[in-house]
A and B are shown apart, each in its own frame.
Chain A
Amino acid sequence: MSKIHVTTVVNGDEVEFLADPRETLLDCLRDHLGLTGSKEGCGTGDCGACSVTVDGVLVSSCLMLGVEAQGKRIATIEGMANGEELHPLQRQFVEHAALQCGFCTPGILVAAKALLEKNPDPTETEVRYWLAGNLCRCTGYDKIIRAVMDAASEMRGAA
């Protein structure tokens, strides 16, 4: 099958790649652009490990074709820190021990950031429902929820 040339913006950088029309955005990020921070846990949009934002909207990159990225702005975990300065969510996750194996962590961080941009002061229930699309098998979510709540509080304080 002939490949399609795709030009898009990932984490602020213009990038281009040749995508087989059957490849997902996740395949393209990982295999063509070397951005392996987004993970494939299920390939069916049920685990959220591949979460990215496309034009600011949270999506499972395993459910979107790579060719659909043409002309869009994609943000992945690799673009979350500002150089050496971690995003408050990233720092709170480490400080709260909110990860064990760490495999679901990039997707959860991307999803949580999208939540806090929409709702800077979420309740615990709102955080739990927003993150219901992100599976974590290690932690039981307790420390993840606390880290997100504390990051939200820190970001409100800083604003």
Chain B
Amino acid sequence: MPKDDIKEFRLVGTRPNRPDGLDKVTGRARYGADITAPGMLWGAVLRSPHAHAKILKIDTSKAEALTGVKAVVTRADFPTGLTGEEWNLQENTMAGEKALYDGHAIAAVAATSSLIAQEAVRLIEVDYEVLPHVTDVDDAIKPDAPVIREGAADASVPEGMPPNVVKYFEFGRGDTAAGFKDADLVMERSFKTEATHQGYIEPHACLGQLGADGKGEMWVCTQGQWFIRQMCSAVLGLNAAQLRVTPSEIGGGFGGKTTIFMEPLSLALSQKAGGRPVKIVMSRSEVLRATGPTASASMDVKIGMTKDGKLTAARAEFRMQGGAFPGAPVDMALYCCLAPYKIENVEHIGYDVLANRPKCAAYRAPGSPMGAFAVESLIDEMCRKLDLDPMEVRLKNAVREGDQASYGPTFGSIGLVEVLEATAKHPNLSVPLGPNQGRGVASGYWFNHNGETSVSMAISEDGTAQVSVGTPDIGGSRASIALMVAETLGIAYEDVRVNVVETGALGVNEPTHGSRATFATGKAATIAARAAIKEMCRRAANEWGIDEEAVEWVDGAAQPAGPNAGDYPPMSIKDIAKNMGSTGGPISGHHESVPDGVGASFGCHVVDVEVDPETGLTKILRYLVVQDAGRAIHPSYVEGQYQGGAVQGIGWALNEEYVYGKDGRLQNPIFLDYRMPVASDLPMIDTMIVEVPNPGHPFGVRGVGETGITPPLPAIANAIQGATGVRMSHLPMTPTKVLAALKASQE
């Protein structure tokens, strides 16, 4: 049932214009690169042209001598002695003894203009000793592969593993050998996915200022201003409270803007330049070469199924490289890949492998799309072999509330069954298919996330409300938070202003990541609003001389309840606000916690494709996203998340990949060659919002951002098999690869 038909709430579920809409359609909204400051300098970064090289000598003298250059920094300007992830961040910010990937920062310059800074970068002379490199995950895990870093493996890695394995995962339950014996069909397949980039259209940009006294400020496009503060402080040895970080409007992130890249460089340059602010704006090729794409994966999956479609056992063994540092989301991939299925016997094995590539960052449901590609592809192939309906098989094995998840915990309220049932009834499934056309379905899963959250809400003198939140608005969250606060207070949507604030204004907030903003910030804002309501009821009770408990809040006003009901006329929020100075001072509500009650989210996608047998080109004819939102606070932006996630997944499935040459250099670091979907590649993306409310959120929110990128990879592969009979097991499924597979199948 569409949310718009439910009249349970006054505002929640409606579709008002977003509060920042006017700024964003007029060009007024200020993003990372849109700010300048008095005395500002421009920064530029010298990057390694080698995939793996010892840095023998850096000579910056010619750059320093150039007129207009005010500071040059290298790793020698950073504090030493860092360990663990802090060392990783510092090493990724600027190379130390070795350049670890094509694009690794070697030195940085601040100058009076951008052109001078770029010229100065070209004058820096670096002596490299080029080392053997490795960029492919299956090559990197070989015992004789070039070693990226000695001693990088953690305690999880058993003795005798290949040298680039830095983390090892092994978990499961039941008896997979017995489970496979119970199956009528056991199949095992290998799959590969290539690294892709989040592809946010706004390149990273920051304006940093740091004085000799260690006090600094930064304006930056980021998903999380506190993460920037904490990471910059760690890398530079600063006192975190002395660094104030203000988030700009953000031009997309999808996980890629939850960490630091050049931000510490602007601060280090600023300090060296006598505290003048330094602006650094990355070029697109810097973004692709040197920020954090996702991991590439090589996966083996084995599944057992009875002839009536019951899953009896599954084994997943995944290898992922996430660049020259630990952190490929192989664990997340394993947790998510079998999550939609109730299987008694499961085994998961994972390897996090180093390679000469940039340090991966989060990308929308990190790990989940790769794992789903492997598992959902194989289940589909088995359904075809056993002549079973893939929707029925998914429903038959679907996890429900109270089931133990494949990765351990017990599911609370979840809506997978509702999603699958809604999908099966959708008219897209009964559209007849023509020649060379095929239909594919696949499920997807994401945990959703809570995270540290701190929110303040204050009542203004006129009875309107301002909400200070710490999660940057990346896709309409100001609107959803304003709806929830206005609903709670009983005032108009337009009477709430949601401000995304700097680090000095609130306690620590995790970034807008993990699909958490509408869940966690929305929950905290609602609790903060309730605290303000309690205070307003107290003010009214004092005025009336009755017990505070005998006042209730109805439709934006305090009114006497119980034995006093009707004794006094309601006192509106405007009346209370007008007099708050004389009744006890400012009225506000505050809440901070790691909100409990996270609600996991399942989705199911159905895609129809047509494959051109002459060119191998796959055209998306129809696309349907069905997903459990818990509750859609602003349905338009929920649909937007579904559509955007699906199209990123379509790009990953069909076009996008990091292409490294034999020299270890990225061969496609511009948008012409790193080809993301454009409008003419796509049909409309149909959506259906299923609402199984999350009992852990005041309005039932689960979080909707991430699940949607997961099913497209396998759904499209499944549709291509339907259209051609050919199973594609290596992404992206480019025309070249599909054509080759078609030819091979005809021989």
Question: Residues of A with Cβ closer than 8 Å to B?
Answer: 1, 20, 22-23, 27, 30-31, 35-44, 46-47, 49, 76-78, 80-81, 86, 90-91, 93-97, 99-106, 109, 125, 127-129, 131-146
Chain A residues lying within 8 Å of B178, measured Cβ to Cβ, are none
- Residue pair A47, B476 in contact (C-beta under 8 Å): no
A97 to chain B, nearest CB (A): 4
Chain B residues lying within 8 Å of A35, measured Cβ to Cβ, are 27
- Residue pair A131, B679 in contact (C-beta under 8 Å): yes
**B640: interface (CB < 8 Å):** yes
**B202: interface (CB < 8 Å):** yes
- Residue pair B201, A49 in contact (C-beta under 8 Å): yes
Instruction: Beyond A30-B33, A47-B284, A105-B24, list 13 extra A-B contacts (CB 8 Å).
Output: A20-B113, A30-B34, A36-B33, A39-B31, A77-B27, A80-B26, A90-B26, A97-B640, A101-B252, A106-B25, A131-B679, A137-B198, A140-B640
Assembly CA distance A30 to B33 (angstroms): 9
Chain A residues lying within 8 Å of B22, measured Cβ to Cβ, are 86, 94
Assembly CA distance A91 to B24 (angstroms): 11
Chain A residues lying within 8 Å of B679, measured Cβ to Cβ, are 127-129, 131-132, 134, 136, 141, 144-145
Interface residues of B in 664-695 (CB under 8 A from A): 670-672, 676-682, 684-685
Chain A residues lying within 8 Å of B115, measured Cβ to Cβ, are 1, 20, 22-23
Contact of A102 among B29, B253, B637, B672 (CB under 8 A): B29
Interface residues of B in 1-49 (CB under 8 A from A): 15, 17-18, 20-31, 33-34, 36
Question: Residues of B with Cβ closer than 8 Å to A?
Answer: 15, 17-18, 20-31, 33-34, 36, 113-115, 198-203, 249-254, 281, 283-284, 474-476, 634, 636-637, 639-641, 643-644, 646-648, 670-672, 676-682, 684-685
Assembly CA distance A146 to B640 (angstroms): 13
- Residue pair A100, B203 in contact (C-beta under 8 Å): no
B652 to chain A, nearest CB (A): 12
Chain B residues lying within 8 Å of A132, measured Cβ to Cβ, are 678-681
Assembly CA distance A121 to B338 (angstroms): 48
Q: Which of chain B's residues has its CB closest to A87's CB?
A: B25
Q: Which of chain A's residues has its CB closest to B254's CB?
A: A137
- Residue pair B203, A99 in contact (C-beta under 8 Å): no
- Residue pair B647, A40 in contact (C-beta under 8 Å): no
Contact of A97 among B15, B113, B249 (CB under 8 A): B15
Closest 9 CB pairs of A and B: A37-B27, A103-B251, A102-B24, A140-B647, A97-B636, A140-B643, A46-B671, A94-B21, A100-B475
Assembly CA distance A58 to B283 (angstroms): 23
Assembly CA distance A1 to B68 (angstroms): 13
Q: Quick one: given A137-B254, A140-B685, are A100 and B201 in contact (CB under 8 Å)?
A: no
What are 30 A-B contacts with C-beta separation under 8 Å? A20-B115, A23-B115, A40-B203, A40-B281, A41-B202, A44-B284, A44-B670, A77-B27, A90-B25, A93-B25, A97-B15, A97-B18, A99-B21, A100-B252, A100-B476, A101-B202, A102-B20, A104-B201, A129-B679, A132-B680, A134-B678, A135-B671, A136-B679, A137-B199, A137-B252, A139-B640, A139-B647, A141-B679, A143-B643, A145-B684
- Residue pair B27, A140 in contact (C-beta under 8 Å): no
- Residue pair A100, B640 in contact (C-beta under 8 Å): yes
- Residue pair B670, A76 in contact (C-beta under 8 Å): no
A98 to chain B, nearest CB (A): 9
Assembly CA distance A27 to B283 (angstroms): 13
- Residue pair A137, B644 in contact (C-beta under 8 Å): yes
Q: Which of chain A's residues has its CB closest to B205's CB?
A: A40
Chain B residues lying within 8 Å of A81, measured Cβ to Cβ, are 26
A106 to chain B, nearest CB (A): 5
Q: Quick one: given A36-B30, A137-B648, are A86 and B25 in contact (CB under 8 Å)?
A: yes
Contact of B201 among A1, A80, A137, A144 (CB under 8 A): A137
A89 to chain B, nearest CB (A): 8
